[in-house]
Amino acid sequence: MDTNYKETEPYRMKVKQKTIKEGVEGEMGVKKALVCLISIFLLSSCALAYVYMNFPHLEEKEYEHMKLPSHIEDAKNIGRVLSRLQTFAIPGSIFLSILSGFLFRWEVALFLICVCSATGATFCYLLFYLVGRPLVTKYFPTRIKLWQEKIDKHKDNLLFYVIFLRITPFLPNWFINISSPVLNVSLRPFWLGTLIG
């Protein structure tokens, strides 16, 4: 029988329980995360309503161009109107990609699309890291463990794994954005993988 106290099983269990407890106490609680998430949603809704109420007025000839484009001239005219009005992209990245292709040279458009997509996905990652992680950890612990084992298999080449997930149509991009912080994918390979993928 081992006489060293620190090597006994009860001591190991105490240390393990203490470590788990410290990890849970160090993160944001579920109720606090839910309140924070609802607050962010309400603040964002108020900000969008404020922006909508204070839109600049369009001239009569500008209203003519605000329609779904059917050919390249229509898209260019919309681009001229929006370049004066728009400061950030509200629609998804696919619309930003199409519009950037019409407005800029291909090199500038490609760079702009990649950086904006990677940065937007990073903001989603950070928001979910702060607010969504405690919620998902509480309500889906078995699924997280299963996915964490898959991520751990690719720890050495995580950047290439993120690029693979971004390129292939297996998982939607929004799912990759919100699951990465829960599965302990670090920010650097996430951003670079999104930029390249």
For residues 189 and 158, the answer to whether their CB atoms sit within 8 Å is yes
Helices and strands per DSSP (H, E), number in the chain: 11, 0
pLDDT per residue as tens digits for the range 78-135: 888 877 666 555 556 677 778 788 888 888 888 988 888 888 888 888 888 887 887 8
Between 5 and 32, residue with greater pLDDT: 32
What is the total count of domains within the chain?
Answer: 1
Find how far residue 42's CA is from the centre of its chain. 19
pTM: 0.56
- pLDDT average, residue stretch 132-142: 81
The token duo for 107 is 């090199």
Strands of 42-170 (E only): list them. Answer: none
The amino acid occupying position 50 is Y
- pLDDT average, residue stretch 38-43: 87
What range does the domain containing 64 cover?
5-196
23 band by pLDDT with thresholds 50, 70 and 90: very low
